[in-house]
Structure formats: structure tokens, C-alpha cells
Structure 1
Amino acid sequence: MQKLLFIINSAPYGNESFFSGLRLALQLQEQYKEEIELKLFLMSDAVSGGLAKQQPAEGYHVQQMLEILTAQGATVKLCKTCTNARGITELPLAEGVQIGTLIELADWTFEADKVLNF
């Protein structure tokens, strides 16, 4: 079982870096679902992508993509320090998304076979 960690820092909308990371994660999950353990840690402005009740006007829908990943067994966590700084720690999160800590990220990074940054 290969352990993959995605660390996403960019805002969910405005550029396509966040979207590109999710697209790759979804493809890996689909293509290698029995062979990988997938974890995503959202930091900085990326944490807003983990909020519930998103209604983007057009294009991709980050909340739905994250919910698909978690439904398929991926773990998705938001940096608690980053959510606190943005005043969103107590807001409802997308289904399956949780608040995480830097301690967890350190553990995930140490255990990961590959770390991808977006």
C-alpha cells in the first residue's frame, strides 16, 4: 500500500492549483484505489475549500470533489491554525472533512511514501 500525501496551500478558487491537486487525487483514487492510501491536508487559504454550502457560479466545485474523495476513503483535514486565523473553525465543513493539527501533518509527512504540494 503506497501512502500519498497532498498538501494544498492555494485558495480553492481564483487559480487552478487547488483544482489541479484535486483532479490528480481523484484520478489516483480511481486508478489505484486498492493500492494507495490517500491523505489531503489543506493549509493557508486552501482551508476555505473544506467549508460546506459552497455555491460556485461556474466551473468546478471543490466541496463536491472533496466529498467524493472522502466517500472513497481519502482522509481530508484542514489546518486548525489556518482555520482559526480565518475565523472559520466553527463553520460547517464539507461531509467527511475534519480539522487537523500540525502534529498530524508531521506524522503524515513522516509516514508518506510521496508528498505532493499544490
Structure 2
Amino acid sequence: MAHITESQIPAPFSLEENMATEAIHAAIDSLFRGREQEIRHRITDLEANIWESIEYASSLQDDIDNESNDSIRQLLEGQLEWVKEDRDEWLRECEELQEELNDLERKDREQKEKEGCQKG
């Protein structure tokens, strides 16, 4: 069994060091919360855009199906393609933001577990 000398025992943190550490953690938590809220709002906006584009695409498809003029039908098909491209872009952005949100939540859980272990 190894003998531990007094010089090997870590000195306890000073009150100032503890307060500084807590302030840093609070600032980081605030940044995470702000980014988390920003992401949630953006995802909500994107989801609304996606649903509106689905409804608009359905309406355009009905117009295309009922249009007898080839020129107008081609214009409507072009619009429909743009709507689908926008929707696909919003879906990709939504997925990327959801991944970022999941990462933030995971890091937050890990930090809380780490702090819980240090206090316990």
C-alpha cells in the first residue's frame, strides 16, 4: 500500500476560486440556455414553414392537375419544384438544428452529472 504524503493531498479551493468557478459555470449555462432557446424557436418556425409548404404544394398540384393550358401548367410545375426545394432545405436545417440541440442537451446532462459527482 502506497503511503500518501501531505504534499500529495490537493489543497482545497479557496472561496474566491469556488466563486469564480461557479460564475464561469453560470455564464456557460446561460450561453447554452440562450442557444437552446434560439434553436427551439428556429425549429418551430421551420416546422411552420414546412407545413405551409406542404399545403401550398398540394394546392399547386391540384391546380396543375386541373390546368389545361400547357404553358400555365409548366409555370405551376416550376413553382411546385421551388416549393419542394425550399421544403427540403428547411427539413435539412431542421435536422441539423435538432442534432445541435441534442448535443447541447447531452453536454448539459454530462455537466450536471459531473457536478453531482463532485458534490457527492
**TM-score of the pair, normalised by structure 1:** 0.26
Structure with more strand by fraction? 1
Q: Which has the larger radius of gyration?
A: 2
**TM-score of the pair, normalised by structure 2:** 0.25
Structure with more helix by fraction? 2
Higher relative contact order (CA 8 A, sep 6+): 1
